[in-house]
Every structure is written in C-alpha cells, then in structure tokens.
Amino acid sequence: MPAYVIADIEVLDPVEYEDYKRLAAPTVAQFGGRYLVRGGAVETIEGEWQPQRIVVIEFPSMEQARAWYYSEAYTHARAIRHRTARSRLIFVEGLPPTP
C-alpha cells in the first residue's frame, strides 16, 4: 500500500535550502520514492491554513517512507532543512491500488 510524506515548509534561508533540495532528491529515489508536489503554487480555499511550500512524496509503503526519513543517507539533508526552514511533516498511508 502506498504511503505519502506531506510537508508544510516555511523556508527561512532560501540560498542554503537549495543545498537541502539538491541532497534530498537522490535519497528519495534511493528509497523508491517520487515527488508528486514540490513547492508549486498554493491556494487556500477553506480555513486559516496558509502554507508557503507544500511537498508530497509518494513511497511504495509506509515502511519505505520511514526507512527513508530515518536513513543515514537522508541525515545530512534533514539537518540542513532543520537549520534553514520550519517544517511540519506527516506520514499518511494511502489507499490500496484499485483493480
């Protein structure tokens, strides 16, 4: 069953955040993930939520999403993100494929 990492990110240092993006992308692919959304335009239509940058990554399973996030490969990139942005991340289990 697929799983998704959904992030709401407020970039505080755009220059150094570019390093994060460059380092994170290969680690996502290494764990079978793919970006579905990576900072495109956001329009709030209900509620008070005002995200600045939304990222959605699909993984084949929750286990692979967790393995990516806690991996040694992602450690350095994650440290850069923590230093250069305020982030809220969640893991969400997706629906099984429809026949």
pLDDT digits (tens, 9 = 90+) for 19-42: 999 999 999 999 999 999 999 999
Report the C-alpha gap between 47 and 23 in whole angstroms.
34
**64 with 71: CB under 8 angstroms?**
no
Which uninterrupted H or E stretch holds 95? none
Q: What is the mean pLDDT of the chain?
A: 96
Q: Which residue segment(s) compose the domain that 24 sits in?
A: 3-93
Report the C-alpha gap between 51 and 69 in whole angstroms.
21
Considering the domain boundaries, does residue 98 fall inside one? Answer: no
Report the number of distinct structural domains present in the chain. 1
Q: What separation in angstroms does the CA of 84 have from each of 23, 45, 70, 72?
A: 14, 28, 19, 19
pLDDT digits (tens, 9 = 90+) for 31-79: 999 999 999 999 999 999 999 999 999 999 999 999 999 999 999 999 9
Considering the domain boundaries, does residue 29 fall inside one? Answer: yes
User: For residue 98, is pLDDT > 90?
Assistant: no
Indicate which CATH number applies to the domain containing 75: 3.30.70.100
> pTM for the full model?
0.93
